[in-house]
Chain A
Amino acid sequence: MFYFSEQGFNCEKARTVEEGLSKLHSYDYDCAVLDLGLPDGSGMDILKEIRSSRIEVGVIILSANSNLDNKIDALDFGADDYLTKPFHLSELNSRIKSIIRRKKQSGSSTIQLNEIEINTDAKEVKVNGELLHLTKKEYDLLLYFYYNRNKVVTKSSIAEHLWGDFMDQTDSFDSVYSHLKNLKKKIKDNGGEDYIKSMYGVGYIFKV
């Protein structure tokens, strides 16, 4: 919670289905993160109630089950996203922000960050007005850094973000490095500043 409140989010915790529902009925939230395993029921019960009472809130389901069927069920019942334990904090952070952004954006799909402009509809990036030719992975990487800006992001969370949990971490670190190097070069070649700093080989930070 501290991780999120520190970024200016107002977070509240509910320990049970009952408590969660009572909060959701009483207050407006942008996003609800639902754990499926609760002492008095399942996060799915909350999700069903949210959708049937038409409560306006983005929903991310946290589950211990990586089974595809559960994921499809959750999305069918109107969850916006689904994350399997054990997830990375920076991954949850980027998913929450992306949901809130989608909910709040009224017409505009561009993120302006000094000289960098990210268009999330067209999946295009401009630096000083010039279009960058990014690969899909480079684009994903930049957006991930943007959502986690000013936070240390570990190499393993980046690897899992780009390739899923299939790759062993160590195998993919070289690939993380090479995608990152290309992304940095493309931004720099268009006169952009180098915002991505390495943290002793542990991870990176996008400082703005």
Chain B
Amino acid sequence: MSEDLEKYEELKRYSENLSHELLTPLTIIRSKAELLLQSENLSESDLRNIDVILKTVGKLSRLNRGLILLSKIKNDQFIDREELDLSEVISESLELMEDQIRHMELSVRIEMKSKTKIYSNSNLVHILFNNLIKNACVHNVNGGYIKVSLYEDKVVIENSGLKNDISESDLFHRFTSGDDRIDSLGLGLSIVKNICEKLNFTTHYTTEEDLHFFVLKLN
């Protein structure tokens, strides 16, 4: 048992180091491709090839960043606590998505059933709601809506979207995405799940036809 634990710890350390060691090579690939982009007389197909390299590096970078964040959460690197007003946190998350909301012509409604204050880590709570609100936006449909309801002990995020048949347990797994339209990494909800475990929140996801409901219980 203790040998297994040791092996697990070693593997964990190894993957954390790997994520960090990848950052410099990724920077080099990106810089060199951007440099190549500046060459004179590039053909259109050259440009497109460089673009594919750059997009792939971008995807790899975001994936890597997500994994680094996940390991930081698991390693308890977010410990400070303070009083947070969730309606403020949610407004900030919505502000981040402002352009997307305007672009997709989404209507946004916040219902305050109660003042929701929690004593928690500001970084984690912000990352949590940024991810949830972002999901509610990008998996939405043009002209759709997002409704956020705040209760004393829970937050419900409701949004329009497409019908999907993804199960709740799959949803929170890494690299699962139920929406083919979006080039997403599927890491977002895995981050949500890990943050909730750390903060002692529970999440519940349900869907009815093309509506999606995320319930976050603050214990």
Contact = CB atoms under 8 A, between A and B. Distances in A.
The answer to whether A binds B is yes
Nearest to B51: A202
B34 A90 contact: yes
A163 interface: yes
B27 A85 contact: yes
A89 B32 CA distance: 9
B165 to A, nearest CB: 23
Given A64-B23, A90-B34, A163-B96, A154 B65 contact: no
A2 B35 contact: yes
Contacts of B123: 68
Contact of B185 (A64, A67, A168, A178): A168
Interface string A1-16: 0110010000000000
Contact of A202 (B47, B100, B138, B184): B47
Contacts of A67: 72, 77
A152 B35 CA distance: 9
A87 B65 CA distance: 12
Interface in A141-188: 151-152, 154, 156-157, 163, 165-172, 174-175, 178-179
B219 interface: no
Contact of A88 (B23, B30, B185): B30
Interface stretch (B4-12, B55-63, B109-117): B55-63
Nearest to B181: A170
Contact of B99 (A165, A175, A203): A175
B26 A200 contact: no
A200 to B, nearest CB: 5
Contact of B23 (A85, A175, A200): A85
Contacts of B54: 154, 156
A86 interface: yes
A166 B130 contact: yes
Contact of A166 (B48, B51, B96): B96
A3 B36 CA distance: 10
Interface string B52-88: 0011011101100100100010000100000000000
25 contacts: A3-B38, A64-B23, A67-B72, A85-B27, A86-B24, A86-B57, A87-B27, A87-B30, A89-B31, A137-B99, A152-B38, A154-B34, A156-B54, A156-B58, A163-B99, A166-B130, A166-B134, A168-B182, A168-B183, A168-B184, A172-B99, A175-B100, A179-B99, A200-B44, A203-B37
Given A156-B58, A171-B182, A200-B47, 5 more contacts: A6-B38, A68-B123, A86-B30, A169-B183, A202-B47
Interface of A: 2-3, 6, 37, 64, 66-68, 85-90, 137, 151-152, 154, 156-157, 163, 165-172, 174-175, 178-179, 199-203
Identify the 9 closest CB pairs spanning chains A and B, nearest first.
A86-B27, A175-B99, A86-B26, A85-B23, A89-B34, A202-B51, A64-B23, A85-B27, A170-B183
